[in-house]
C-alpha cells in the first residue's frame, strides 16, 4: 500500500475535506492510528514530555527522533510520515541539511517539521531545493518556550498577528509544503489558512484550518498533569483507544472538533 502524498493533501485543501493528524511515537500506536485511516502521522518532539517525562521538548536529540521515527514507520503503511527536527538541530542551514538527511535516510520520514518564522527562510529554501519537503510551524513554538515566557497563546496583539501573517507567507514562498499553527486566535488562523495555498494544520488554532493535529496522549487523556484547554479527551466518551482515534478522525472530518470551547479568541 502506498502512503499519502503532499499532492493528495493539497487536493484535500482544494476540495475542503479536513486533514487529520495525530502524533505517534511507537509502532503499536502507529499501526492502530494508521489503520483507522488518519491522513498524517507526526513523530513530534512532544515525545520529550509525554514519553521521556521532561518538562519541555528541549532535551530531545536527533538520535531520539530517528529511533521513534523508525518505529512509527515500521508500524504504519498509509499515512504521510512527518518528523520533528529537534531543538538546535537546524540552527544553521548546514545543520538542518544534515539532520533532515538522517531523519529521512535512517528514520524514513517523508517530511521534516521545524519551528520558527522568517529566520528559517534560507533553511527552508535550501532543504526544499534538495528534495526535502518541509512542514513549517508557527505560533506557540515549544522549542522557544523560554524566550516566549511559557506555553501561551500567540498573536493576540496586532503586531504579533502581523508578524505571524508575514512569516506564514514567507515560509510558503520559500517552499514549505505544509504549515502547523499552534495556539493562536481562531480568526487569525482562519485568515492565514485562507491566504495560503499550502495546507494549514491547526492545534489550538480554531476550526477554520485545513486540518487538525493533537498530541495522542492528550486526546487519550493520559498525559500527566493538566490537559491543554484546546485538546479533548476522546477516550473518556468512547471507552476504547481505537474508538477514541476513530471519534477524533470523524469529528475533524465533519468539522465538529475543535468547537468554540477549544478555540482562543483575540482578547
Ligand atoms: O511535537 C509535537 O507533538 C508537535 C505538535 C504539537 C504539533 O509539534
Nearest atom within ligand 1 for CA of residue 213 = 7
Give the largest CA-CA distance in the chain.
Answer: 47
224 CA to middle of ligand 1, Å?
A: 16
Question: What confidence tens digit (pLDDT) does each residue in 15-54 have?
Answer: 999 999 999 999 999 999 999 999 999 999 999 999 999 9
Lining ligand 1 with CB less than 6 A are: 23, 42, 44-46, 84, 180, 182, 203, 213, 215
Pocket test for ligand 1, best of 182, 202, 216, 223 (most atoms within 8 A of CB): 182
246 CA to middle of ligand 1, Å?
A: 20
d(C-alpha 201, C-alpha 180), whole Å: 5
Please indicate, yes or no, if residue 258 is contained in any of the structural domains.
Answer: yes
Please indicate, yes or no, if residue 113 is contained in any of the structural domains.
Answer: yes
Q: What is the CATH number of the domain that holds 56?
A: 3.20.20.60
Please indicate, yes or no, if residue 267 is contained in any of the structural domains.
Answer: no
Please indicate, yes or no, if residue 29 is contained in any of the structural domains.
Answer: yes
**pTM of full prediction above 0.85:** yes
Determine the pLDDT at residue 40.
99
Please indicate, yes or no, if residue 126 is contained in any of the structural domains.
Answer: yes
Is 122 labeled as catalytic in the residue annotation?
no
Nearest atom within ligand 1 for CA of residue 180 = 7
- As for how many domains the chain has, the answer is 1
Residue 265 grid cell: 479568541
Please indicate, yes or no, if residue 1 is contained in any of the structural domains.
Answer: no
Asked whether 124 and 174 are in contact (CB, 8 A), the reply is: yes
Q: How many CA atoms lie within 13 A of 209 on its CB side?
A: 30
Per-residue pLDDT band for 1 (boundaries 50, 70, 90) equals low
Please indicate, yes or no, if residue 229 is contained in any of the structural domains.
Answer: yes
Distance of CA 66 to the CA centre of its chain: 17
Determine the pLDDT at residue 227.
85
Question: What confidence tens digit (pLDDT) does each residue in 195-253 have?
Answer: 999 999 999 999 999 999 999 999 999 998 888 999 999 999 999 999 999 999 999 99
Residue ranges making up the domain that contains 170: 6-262
Of the candidates 140, 138, 155, 142, which has an alpha carbon nearest to the alpha carbon of residue 265? 155
Determine the pLDDT at residue 249.
98
195 CA to middle of ligand 1, Å?
A: 23
Mean pLDDT along residues 160-189: 98
The position carrying cell 499501526 is 31
Percent over 90 (pLDDT), the chain:
97
Determine the pLDDT at residue 107.
98
Sign of CA dihedral 179, 122, 152, 169: negative
Asked whether 107 and 70 are in contact (CB, 8 A), the reply is: yes
Distance of CA 73 to the CA centre of its chain: 17
Active-site entry in 182, 197, 246, 266: 182
d(C-alpha 1, C-alpha 188), whole Å: 38
Residue 78 grid cell: 498509509
Determine the pLDDT at residue 224.
85
Please indicate, yes or no, if residue 186 is contained in any of the structural domains.
Answer: yes
Amino acid at each position: 500500500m502506498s502512503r499519502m502524498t503532499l499532492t493528495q493533501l493539497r487536493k484535500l485543501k482544494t476540495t475542503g475535506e479536513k486533514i487529520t493528524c495525530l502524533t505517534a511515537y511507537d509502532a503499536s500506536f502507529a499501526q492502530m492510528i494508521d489503520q483507522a485511516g488518519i491522513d498524517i502521522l507526526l513523530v513530534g518532539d512532544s515525545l520529550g514530555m509525554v514519553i521521556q517525562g521532561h518538562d519541555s521538548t528541549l532535551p530531545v536529540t536527533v538520535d531520539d527522533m530517528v529511533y521513534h521515527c523508525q518505529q512509527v514507520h515500521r508500524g504504519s503503511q498509509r499515512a504521510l510520515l512527518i518528523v520533528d527536527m529537534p531543538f538546535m538541530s537546524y540552527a544553521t542551514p548546514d545543520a538542518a541539511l544534515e539532520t533532515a538527511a538522517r531523519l529521512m535516510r535512517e528514520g524514513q520520514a517523508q517530511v521534516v517539521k521545524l519551528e520558527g518564522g522568517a529566520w528559517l527562510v534560507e533553511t527552508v529554501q535550501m532543504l526544499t531545493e534538495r528534495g526535502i519537503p518541509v512542514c513549517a510551524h508557527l505560533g506557540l513554538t515549544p522549542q522557544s518556550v523560554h524566550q516566549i515566557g511559557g506555553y501561551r497563546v500567540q498573536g493576540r496583539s496586532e503586531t504579533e498577528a502581523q508578524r505571524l501573517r508575514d512569516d506564514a507567507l514567507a515560509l510558503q514562498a520559500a517552499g514549505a509544503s505544509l504549515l502547523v499553527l499552534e495556539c493562536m486566535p481562531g480568526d487569525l488562523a482562519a485568515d492565514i489558512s485562507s491566504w495560503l495555498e499550502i495546507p494549514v494544520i491547526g492545534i489550538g488554532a480554531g476550526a477554520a484550518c485545513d486540518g487538525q493535529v493533537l498530541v495522542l496522549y492528550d486526546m487519550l487523556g493520559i498525559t500527566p498533569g493538566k490537559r491543554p484547554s484546546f485538546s479533548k479527551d476522546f477516550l473518556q466518551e468512547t471507552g476504547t483507544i481505537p474508538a477514541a482515534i476513530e471519534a477524533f478522525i470523524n469529528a475533524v472530518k465533519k468539522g465538529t472538533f475543535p468547537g468554540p470551547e477549544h478555540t482562543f479568541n483575540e482578547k
